[in-house]
Amino acid sequence: MSNGPKSTREAPKASTVRYKAALRKAIRKNRREPEIDFLNITAMLDLMTIILVFLLQTMASSTQSIQEGQDLQLARSFMQGEPSDQGVILVISKSAILLGEQGEAVVPLPSREQLASSGLDAKYKRSGPNDLYIVPLANALRNARKLDKAVRAAKNLDTSTSEAIIIADAKTPYRLLMEVMFTLGQSEFGKYHLMVMKKKGT
Amino acid sequence: MSEPENHPLSPAQRSRIRRLSRWEDPAPGEEAGELNIIPYLDIIMNIIVFVIATISVVFMSTLDVNPPSAGGGGKSTRTKTDSLNLTAIITNDGVGLKTSSGNIATGCERVGSGITIPKNGDGTYDFSALTKCARKLKSENDKFASETQVTVTANNNIEYQTIINFMDAMRMDNPEACSVDEESKAWTGAGCLFPNVNFGVAR
A165-198 residue pLDDT tens:
999 999 999 999 999 999 999 999 988 999 998 8
**Is B35 in contact with A41 (Cβ distance < 8 A)?**
yes
pLDDT at A55: 75
Residue B130 above 80 pLDDT? yes
Helix A135-154 vs helix A174-186: angle between axes, to the nearest 10 degrees? Answer: 50
Residue B42 above 90 pLDDT? no
Residue A7 counted as domain residue: no
Mean pLDDT score, B27-46: 72
Range(s) of the domain holding residue A110: 69-198
Instruction: Closest CB to B59: pick one of A55, A59, A197.
Output: A197
Element (H, E) at A140: helix A135-154
Higher-pLDDT residue of B199, B60: B199
ipTM of the complex: 0.70
Kindly report the average pLDDT of chain B as a whole number: 81
Looking at beta carbons, which residues of chain B come within 8 Å of A66? 56, 60
Residue A59 counted as domain residue: no
Residue B123 above 50 pLDDT? yes
Element (H, E) at A151: helix A135-154
pLDDT at B27: 64
Q: Is the CB of residue B146 less than 8 Å from the CB of residue B195?
A: no
pLDDT at B179: 84
pLDDT at B110: 83
Mean pLDDT score, A8-22: 80
User: Which of A38, A63, A78, A171 to probe the B interface (max B CBs under 10 A)?
Assistant: A78
Residue A4 above 60 pLDDT? no
Of A24-38, A48-62, B107-121, which has the strongest mean pLDDT?
B107-121
Residue A93 counted as domain residue: yes
H helix count then E strand count, chain A: 6, 6
Q: Where are the domains of chain B?
A: 66-201
Looking at beta carbons, which residues of chain A come within 8 Å of B62? 79, 81, 83-84, 165, 193-196
The total domain count for chain A is 1
- 3-state SS of B121-163? CCCCCCHHHHHHHHHHHHHCCHHHHHCCEEEEEECCCCEHHHH
Count of other CB atoms within 10 angstroms of residue A121: 15
Looking at beta carbons, which residues of chain B come within 8 Å of A190? 66-67
Pick the closest to residue B116 from B127, B201, B124 (CA basis): B127
Pick the closest to residue A32 from B24, B17, B31 (CA basis): B24
Residue A53 counted as domain residue: no
pLDDT at A2: 44
Give the lowest-confidence range in A77-91, A105-119, B46-60, B93-107. B46-60
pLDDT at B1: 46
Nearby residues of B180 by Cβ (< 8 Å), 6 or more positions away: A81, B186, B187, B188
Residue A17 counted as domain residue: no
Looking at beta carbons, which residues of chain B come within 8 Å of A10? 10, 12
Residue A29 counted as domain residue: no
A36-87 residue pLDDT tens:
666 677 777 888 888 888 877 776 666 556 677 888 888 999 888 778 878 8
The runs of H, that is alpha helices, within chain B are 11-21, 38-54, 127-139, 160-171
Instruction: Closest CB to B60: pick one of A19, A177, A197.
Output: A197
Measured CA to CA, the distance from residue B32 to residue B36 in angstroms comes to: 13
pLDDT at B167: 93
Residue B191 above 60 pLDDT? yes
